[in-house]
Structure 1
């Protein structure tokens, strides 16, 4: 069994005409935000996280990715990771001894302040506030579920919180993990490069984002709202706020109610 980390991403040390590889075996970056993924499919990573801004940030060492191949910690010659559910029933359940070994190995490579989260449809709903909270930690260990789930004793023993991408069921946690990490990594300092863009996007103020426009000024008989071309920043801000409120009221009454409740609670 190998405890060697499968880490991805590195810092640029000097200018070079040689292309940099996105995924490389190397020692952990001491102060970089770390995402650990316990998974049966480490080859699924970095996936979309290796593209665009998150991929560049990974390459530049603003965060690092450490995949923990669960199969390496399996039982016996065939590296079994699951067994039949106690009490009977369909499907298979991830074994606690296998997952325990994987977590013990993984947690030696990450700050103890980094939470452990299990991706599960019965968990708390992931949202922008969770992403902001995670971005303030040293990193996170994400357990990607498979089959019928994970032995409850693992969750109890390690104090693992369950978290869900939404009210639907996936075949495994890998897609959800990439979505959650994308939402979190983009909030890390230096990843987007423009802090104002984060403040103006959907959910940052408890509202959905206002409509966006760009050139040409007229397309298919439709024009950019004149206020956006007026150069009057105060009026533009008022228009955008009104549009955000209108869209949120119409499309997400739950968000609107929470927004109004938060306003009422301020003194």
Structure 2
């Protein structure tokens, strides 16, 4: 029996037959073949050359149509598919035609760090993806590859204020247009699009304005102080054991050299006036 199986999260073609030394010797010549001792069957990578070899060994009738269809190299490019509440995640090998299709979908984006595509979960997008990829789609976990964020997103009506670099504050909060407009009025305010937070100057005026806003709008405010680093004074040379000192003979040599230069300069001046 020849069929498709999933072995160690990889699609493989399995061959389970009665003992036949002639057929087994031919299967051993196929690149990528493996014997599963637990399942008592041979399995091969899903490649066009494997399918052609199996057709030669067993005949076209023994190889199912669904496997024969995979002999097209383009269809061998499997696409891992996962749905979340609002997004469709697609992970696949690089293929210009596939990328061109994904870019034609509405609200698509590429996750460069984890190498997968994000598409908005709409009925139109789902139909187009199913129609284009067809049998190449298979469900798998992609979201598990993402690391949890170090800082938790603040709850509604919460302002998190972090002491950033010297003289700067970092502000993290859920979107609020009134607070956003207030922060934009502060001097030297900057929006960090990568980390999704605001930074502004740290002074009494800014802190008072933030406190006033939180009191009026009934927001919770959390301050996070930057941990103080111990500053050690630079040690004096007398406090350092085996501090390097210039040997006396070197000092005398320098003095002698300096004196000889002065004497040579005085002699040159005398010769000039004679």
- Whether the TM-score (by the shorter chain) exceeds 0.5 is no
RCO higher in structure (CA 8 A, sep ≥6)? 1
Shorter-chain TM-score category? under 0.3
TM-score after normalising by structure 2? 0.22
Structure having the larger proportion of residues in strand: 2
TM-score, scaled to structure 1: 0.23
